[in-house]
Amino acid sequence: MRDISHAAGGPVNSVPALLERNAKTWPDRTAYREKEFGIWQSWTWAETREEVRDLALGLLDLGVQPGDFIAIIGTNRPHLYWAIPAAQMVGAVPVPLYSDSAAEEMAYVLDHCGARFVVAEDQEQVDKVIEVKPQLPALEHILYLDPRGMRKYDHAHLHDYGQVQQQGRAARDALTPEMERRTAALGPEDICVMLYTSGTTGKPKGVVLSNSNIIETSKNSSEFDNLGPGEEVLAYLPMAWVGDFIFSIGQAYWSGFCVNCPESETTLATDLREIGPSYYFAPPRVFETQLTNVMIRMEDAGRFKKWLFDKCMAHARQVGGRMLDGQRVELADQLKYRLGELLIYGPLKDTLGLRRIRVGYTAGEAIGPEIFDFYRALGINLKQLYGQTEASVFITQQPDGEVRSDTVGVASPGVELKIAESGEVFYRSPGVFQLYYKNPESTASTKDPEGWVATGDAGFIEEGSGHLRIIDRAKDVGKMADGSLFAPKYVENKLKFFPNILEAVVFGNGRETCTAFINIDLTAVGNWAERNNIAYSSYQELAGHPQVLETIRSHVEQVNRSVAEDEMLSGCQIHRFLVLHKELDADDGEMTRTRKVRRKIIEEKYADLIAALYDGSGQVSTRTEVTYEDGRKGHISATLKLCDAAVMDRGAERVAAE
Amino acid sequence: MSLAEQIVTDQPAEGWVTADGRQIGPVMMEMRNITLRFGGVEAIKDISFDIRQGEIRAIIGPNGAGKSSMLNVISGFYNPQEGEVWFHGQRRPRMRPYEVARQGVARTFQNIALFEGMTVLDNVMTGRLNHMKAGVFRQALWFGRAEREEIENREKVERIIDFLEIQSIRKTPVARLPYGLKKRVELARALAAEPKLLLLDEPMAGMNVEEKEDMSRFILDVNDEFGTTIALIEHDMGVVMDLSDRVVVMDYGRKIGDGTPDEVRSNQDVIDAYLGVAHD
């Protein structure tokens, strides 16, 4: 349970103040863990404070001024996390960047905020910064954490992280008063962090969040889920993402979590299993991949094991979710579930590393009901939330006992919701961002003077439960020719819930009927082909296989039935579809780096295919330009079969089937 | 005077600094007039060259030129009939391979020679055997010195695992690994011995371009980070020319060239050996 006394020492206005409080309250409790050299190394809160202090003093020694921006580039590592409070302690603003972004993308952000300092993880990141340094007049010093390969570099403006700490320690007596003065001056309205949005449209925007944004949000959300000291989290999502900032800094400092950093990206599954986090966040894709792997492995298991698994899972699906929601379940069923826990659920959760989860969240995209229910059935308290960088994450979240796959929950504590006439969702909360850095026009168009922020998403509040349901991006929602609502993402998500379908793009804005492009999932369909002795040599060949098309058709028709049930959206049923001859790819500009489809570009690029879907022809030949990973271009030609799908009647109106 | 001797550039005895700032030291190992015969076949004919401290030295040549035999002479696997091997300024007597290994020479093999049934970690640990002194009894019961040694050595091994980025396969049996990774594990095992001289027998053989790039990076990093002297045999000319400081070229057991990559590249004998020459 949460220890209330730790908030009693007076108001805490900043992350460094929280650090100070934690080091006093729990000096010997583990604050950070990192697996290195095969062993989990750990730091207590008291040790963390010393490390952060040394770094802050070192930064001061290098000449950091209040208001300077300090970029932090790298994967999740304790030392990089420490750079955040260290920067704040000397009055600077930390700006975590995506470590996988290319040098030019980095150059834009570094130039936009005018960073004077960079804290980089290793040679790879330093090289990128050095490459673009000539375009960055403001940039002065680069600190690096991993000295490997750095010996030959010119060290005039390049510093070893450990040495900077050492210099800070050496100058402790002289510099401490100045550092303490700057730390004490931090107020609730001062900037806590600046996070760049990934930018699905246009250039990234720098979202400025204040100390009170972060602390208020962390406090509210920690109370919402009863998060307290002793919680274990695994920090594996990009540091530049607001979610990681809230989970691994905001809530972790407020509640006193232990933040665990994995050994490397490739050891993530093992590290997750070893740590067994009690509070966990993952995007739907992660849960989806995990489930697909479990299912593929179970296909290969022995007959008895498979039978037992199926039997237990069937039972879990019936009662697991209800037991988790605290509903009444018959004693016999409870006992059966216990037995299942012993034989299947427990060991499975152990293997997945999800055994100890008390609170798990997913967000970012819609999650398939089957996937969601699978984890809930196992007894994992997986919930959904809806958030944005501009809101310091939380807009809505699902309270325990009210969890469903098709809503995103009720307004988070302190958040007010409003649905505009257009259907767009607006919110106002203590977490609402201050401004977009150097971009008053965008700030004004997103946030009105009363503090209401436009989410850009269309949705509605469900009557009765009060839960918010998101339909689609507001700008993508349109009207069909007959005036009914067109929400492509709503239908696409339903399609994507089938393991065989990786991506779907639905068209139909302003038209009579809807049509769709489908991408098959090579892992799932390839596995099926292998089992059924179907030979194929390429994605293209498999995608055009008649049996595959037939399977996809049955999926589409199932989606049509489900869409038809919703009166508002029944116009969005898919009349014709095709399976694309190539995977939609970020390298071709068809998707963003975070794998969101770029509708406009796809519409232009494949205009011939769309035309064919609407002119009733049976097949179409096309030639598509593709970009290889190294930037070279090539072409693929294909003849695609266009398929019809049965649609359901919608109310009085009748639409011909086939 | 043969061409081979002509192109040996003037080299200061104490060494020099390369264009990319690496320190090449004095001569570490010297082969003097080595001749190796198998019955009537002369695999190596009167070859002399040296390996300097801190350098990356390549031995190249067409198939059957005697490169691997040369490496086996250095590692003590073969003892040449004629000639002398000098190591750190002293003439090396006839030695068994394990004695050479104790002197600080480690190697990898052209055909991977790992313990397939053991995990990566255990394989790499075998590289530390020369550094473990505890007796069989203590090792079996794992107490006292054996325990201390194992912990110390494990730490060294973990640093190498980290260095070569093979953390994710630490506990995987070698038999389950793809070829490129096995090669990396072999390098890890050789590095675990903390060699002064590292011999690599075709480290890139059978690799795709990306694996080759990775391996090149690791070889350079090993040389840079640990200051290890490296002698390697390799067929991929691009790799050899990029990596090495000096190159020995062999053909039919003879040395036909010796010098920097640029010098070797413009050597007519080398070009003939590689491209073939019209006999008229």
Same domain, B41 and B142: no
Give domain status of residue A331, yes or no: no
Tell me what percent of the residues of chain A surpass a pLDDT of 90: 67
For residues A589 and B26, which has the higher predicted lDDT (pLDDT)?
B26
- The whole-number pLDDT of residue A384 equals 94
* In a shared domain, residues B167 and B209: no
pLDDT at A396 over 90: yes
Domains contained in chain A, number: 2
Please name the amino acid found at residue A312.
C
CA distance A153 to chain B (A): 10
Do B13 and B77 have their domain in common?
A: yes
Parent domain of A102? 4-210
Residue finishing a domain among B128, B155, B182: B182
Contacts of A641 (CB under 8 A, 6+ apart): A544, A549, A578, A618, A619
Please answer yes or no on whether A270 and B168 come within 8 Å at the CB atom: yes
Contacts of B221 in chain A (CB under 8 A): 148-149
- What average pLDDT does chain A have? 90
Report the DSSP pairing between strands A117-120 and A69-73.
Answer: parallel
Q: What's the CATH code of the domain at A493?
A: 3.30.300.30
Q: Tell me if B20 and A152 make a contact (CB, 8 A cut-off).
A: yes
Is residue A3 over pLDDT 60?
A: no
Q: Is the ipTM of this complex over 0.85?
A: no
Interval A258-299: pLDDT, tens: 999 999 988 998 999 999 999 999 998 889 888 988 988 888
> Which of B125, B156, B182 is at the close of a domain?
B182
Comparing A475 with B48, the larger pLDDT belongs to B48
- Within 10 angstroms of residue A352's Cβ, the number of other Cβ atoms is 21
Instruction: State the pLDDT at residue A356.
Output: 95
pLDDT in tens, A19-32: 999 999 999 999 99
Average pLDDT (A60-74) is 96
pLDDT of A7 above 70: no
**What pLDDT sits at residue A201?**
61
Question: Around A256, how many Cα atoms within 13 Å sit in the side-chain half-sphere?
Answer: 24
Q: What tokens appear for B16 in the block?
A: 């020099």
B109, part of any domain: no
pLDDT-based confidence at A246, cuts 50/70/90? Answer: very high
pTM: 0.82
What is the pLDDT confidence band of residue A650, given thresholds at 50, 70 and 90?
low
What is the pLDDT, as a whole number, of residue A366? 81
Q: Do A149 and B170 touch (CB under 8 A)?
A: no
Q: What distance in Å separates residue A266's CA from the closest CA in chain B? A: 6
**pLDDT beneath 50, residues of chain B:** 1-8
Residue ending a domain, choose from A210, A236, A264: A210
Of A195, A210, A225, the domain-final residue: A210
Please report the pLDDT score of residue A421 as a whole number.
Answer: 83
Residues A34 and A263: their CA atoms lie apart, in Å, by: 7
At B204, phi and psi to the nearest 5? -105, 5
The pLDDT value given to residue A652: 39
For A153, the closest chain B residue by CA position comes to B21
Residue A6 pLDDT > 90: no
Contact A267 B154 (CB under 8 A): no
pLDDT bucket at A146, cuts 50 / 70 / 90: very high
Q: What is the average per-residue pLDDT within A52-73?
A: 96
- Cα gap B8→B260, rounded to integer Å: 9
Predicted pLDDT of residue A657: 38
The rounded percent of chain A whose pLDDT value lies above 70 is 96
As a whole number of angstroms, the distance between CA A555 and CA A591 comes to 23
Mutate to test the interface with A, among B152, B162, B164, B172 (most CBs of A within 10 A): B162
Smallest Cβ distance to A148: which of B167, B170, B225?
Answer: B225
Average pLDDT over residues A491-520: 91
Q: Scanning every residue of chain A, which has its alpha carbon at the shortest distance from the alpha carbon of B159? A: A37
Residue B280 lies in a domain: no
Do B92 and B121 share a structural domain?
A: no
Residues B145, B151, B154, B156, Cα dihedral to 10°: -90
Whether residue B167 and residue A38 make contact (CB cut-off 8 A), yes or no, is yes
For A352, residues 6+ apart whose C-beta sits below 8 A from its C-beta are: A272, A273, A290, A294
Task: Find the domain containing B150 and state its range.
Answer: 117-182
Q: Do residue B133 and residue B166 come from a single domain? A: yes
CA distance A159 to A565: 62
With 70 as the cut, is the pLDDT of residue A242 above it?
A: yes
Q: How many domains does chain B have?
A: 2
* Degrees, nearest 5: CA angle A64-A66-A72: 60
A167 vs B278: which has the higher pLDDT: A167
Domain co-membership, B90 together with B125: no
How many other C-beta atoms are found inside a 10 Å radius of the C-beta of residue B212? 19
Residues in chain B whose Cβ is within 8 Å of chain A: 20-22, 154-155, 158-159, 161-163, 165, 167-168, 170, 221, 224-225
Cβ–Cβ below 8 Å for A149 and B224: yes
Contact B115, B174 (CB under 8 A): yes
Nearest chain B residue to A37, by CA: B158
- Chain A residues near residue B162 by CB distance under 8 angstroms: 36-37
Residue B268: inside a domain: yes
